[in-house]
Amino acid sequence: MQITEKVFGETPEGETIFEYILENGQLKLKIINYGAILVELHTPDRNGKLEDIILGFDSLDGYINDDTYQGATIGRFANRIKDGCFKIDDKEYKLAQNDGENHLHGGIKAFNKVIWKAEKIEKEDSIGLELSYFSKDGEENYPGNLKSTVIYLIQDNTLNIYFKAFTDKTTPVNMSHHSYFNLNSAKNGNILDHKIKINANQYLPVNKNLIPTGAIKSVQDTAMDFTELTRIRKQIKNMSGGYDHNWVLNKNNCELRLAAEVVATKSGRKMELSTTKPGLQFYSGNFLDGTMTGKYNIQYNKHQGLCLEPQFFPDSPNHPEFPFSFLRPNEIYEHSIRYRFSTI
């Protein structure tokens, strides 16, 4: 097990950004302290060959100019808030409308565009990186000074990501991870033949701007039914543009439980994702349009990668019926995600 630190690049403001390579013989990761971004994630295929299974960029410029949230830590509030508005105790807050009329993934200079402080973690059975960021009261118009932490930790064939935050004023917090996975590696085509299982009997219907209508519907007899391992290609044509929805995970008791499984028969790679949060956004890379070139000089076309983002439901601050509460002073926001990599 080892952690190697190197210079990754320099921001236009002259700040040096570092990369941290974590290796334990089974997994190899590269994380940068810009955006607390996961730049590379190598896992073995069925023949033991390590390949990078996430999309991203070779250079810091790629991440600075990126508007697709490659490998990013997303926050303060992941996903959409309708019209960028919400109320806390009758006081109205107005956030940036950076996705049409809506607020998306924390705003303009959100957690994926700031510099985090990194500290290495070296334990007997695991290694990792702790990244912390102090988001000031009023940043992106969110209330409260927020001390936020992201910990990446690898142990054997699992990658754990822990999020933690503390505030001094009541504020909405919803932190998640936004890697685009392609278990065959992006150079070997798109994700339409990946099979996916989502442990959810219900999903959230959305309006044309991808804001939940407030209804919670059964997945049964719909293209949203992934209760059995199903090829993504099977029903995607019934979904205009592709999948970009939030599933209501079963067993919602804040404990870490299996939320989804993804299998790529070509490479034999399997990924199991567990979370402590109630929702899972499955986004099938619909807005990748071939105009972006990523790592290894690969052009990113529609469905080149898929995101599985565990979180509170989108627009939760405006839906008292959703399982969500604002983070208040003296409380801790916590979220754990576990990815387990194996082969079939």
Tally of CA atoms within 13 A in the half-sphere of 72 that contains its CB: 28
Cβ atoms of residues 327 and 161 within 8 Å: no
C-beta of 302 vs 340, nearer to ligand GAL: 302
Cβ atoms of residues 309 and 281 within 8 Å: yes
Strands (DSSP E) along 193-332, which ranges? 195-198, 202-204, 217-218, 230-231, 244-248, 257-264, 269-275, 279-283, 292-293, 299-300, 307-311
**Binding track, positions 280-309, relative to ligand GAL; x by CB under 6 A:** -x-x---x-------------------x-x
Concerning whether 178 is annotated as a catalytic residue, the answer is yes
Closest approach, Cβ 176 to ligand GAL, in A, equals 8
Closest approach, Cβ 67 to ligand GAL, in A, equals 7
Alpha carbon 51 to chain centroid, angstroms: 20
C-beta of 26 vs 246, nearer to ligand GAL: 246
C-beta of 80 vs 194, nearer to ligand GAL: 80
Residues 104-123 within binding reach of ligand GAL (CB under 6 A): 104
Q: Which one of 42, 309, 319, 335 is the catalytic residue?
A: 309
Give the separation between CA 246 and CA 281, rounded to whole angstroms: 4
Q: Which one of 105, 177, 178, 245 is the catalytic residue?
A: 178
Give the separation between CA 199 and CA 214, rounded to whole angstroms: 20
Give the separation between CA 114 and CA 178, rounded to whole angstroms: 15
Per CB under 6 A, which region of 47-55, 145-153, 259-267, 279-287 contacts ligand GAL?
279-287
Closest approach, Cβ 275 to ligand GAL, in A, equals 15
Strands (DSSP E) along 54-183, which ranges? 72-74, 80-81, 85-88, 91-94, 103-104, 117-122, 127-135, 146-155, 158-167, 176-178
**Binding track, positions 13-52, relative to ligand GAL; x by CB under 6 A:** ----------------------------------------
Cβ atoms of residues 22 and 129 within 8 Å: yes
C-beta of 129 vs 288, nearer to ligand GAL: 288
C-beta of 287 vs 296, nearer to ligand GAL: 287
Concerning whether 103 is annotated as a catalytic residue, the answer is no
Task: Show contacts of 216-223: CB within 8 Å, 24+ apart.
Answer: 216/248, 219/247
Residues 191-250 within binding reach of ligand GAL (CB under 6 A): 210, 244
Member of 69, 111, 116, 243 binding ligand GAL (CB under 6 A): 69
Give the separation between CA 88 and CA 77, rounded to whole angstroms: 15
Active site residues: 178, 309
Residues at the site binding ligand GAL, with contacts judged by CB under 6 A: 68-69, 104, 210, 244, 281, 283, 287, 307, 309
